[in-house]
Amino acid sequence: MNSRGFTLLEVLVAMAIFAILSVLAYGGLMVVLDQRALAEEQTDAWRELQLSLQLLGRDLQQLQPRPVRDEIGDRYEPAFQSRPGRSNALEFTRGGWTNPAGLPRATLQRVAYRVEDGALLRIYWPVLDRTLNTEPVVSRLIEDIDGLDLRMLDTQGSWHTQWPPPGFAGEGALYTLPRAVEVAVESPRFGRVWRLVETSP
């Protein structure tokens, strides 16, 4: 019985077909891996945004009517303040600062939020009435955002883009807190993401 092997041409054709199929399979695999990496990146960015808004919301839900002295010590800053054009978009006093180590400090905390170089920063100070030498603690929460917009609701049901609202003056303006705060983050990836936080029961 005669046996016939493959000719060189047949081997070359088979190798060429195998090479083409391998390139197609590798290309398809790379597309799948790229899509997976993109999906994971999107998921991580969305999780980061959601966690940051939750942290901001928890801070706002614990507002306390406690004004603080400014760094010079010659006047008081309101318990809650937000004014367009200031370095800090939002600054306020919150309660519930946990102290598991039993350090000699208050349970109240002065917190601020600002957008700097495309990142949302959370800032707090180790004391309420800080001085020029008091070093803040800064955390970067969200990268790659365009801005932070805020609206505050007063007890009369009116919305304001700054707080204390125009017309509020005197000692009452130092202690007045909004009923609710609307926080909106402008993200080039997700668009406008907003959250409404009720600040008083």
What would the pLDDT profile of 4-15 be if each residue is shown by its tens digit?
666 777 777 778
- For the record, the structure tokens of 83 come out as 């004014």
- Report how far residue 120's alpha carbon sits from residue 123's, in angstroms, rounded to the nearest whole number: 10
Reported as a single tens digit per residue, the pLDDT across 115-158 is 999 899 999 998 999 888 999 999 999 888 888 999 999 989 99
Q: Is residue 43 part of a domain?
A: no
Write down the mean pLDDT value for the chain. Answer: 86
- For the record, the structure tokens of 194 come out as 């907003």
The parent domain of residue 135 ranges over 58-198
What pLDDT does residue 30 have?
Answer: 77
Task: Identify the CA nearest to 185 among candidates 15, 35, 49, 11.
Answer: 49
Q: Is residue 10 part of a domain?
A: no
**Backbone phi and psi for residue 149, each to the nearest 5 degrees, phi listed first:** -110, 140
Q: Is residue 49 part of a domain?
A: no
Which CATH number do you get for residue 183? 3.10.610.10
If one compares 160 and 187, the residue with the highest pLDDT of the two is 160
Q: How many structural domains comprise the chain?
A: 1
> Is pLDDT at 24 greater than 60 in this prediction?
yes
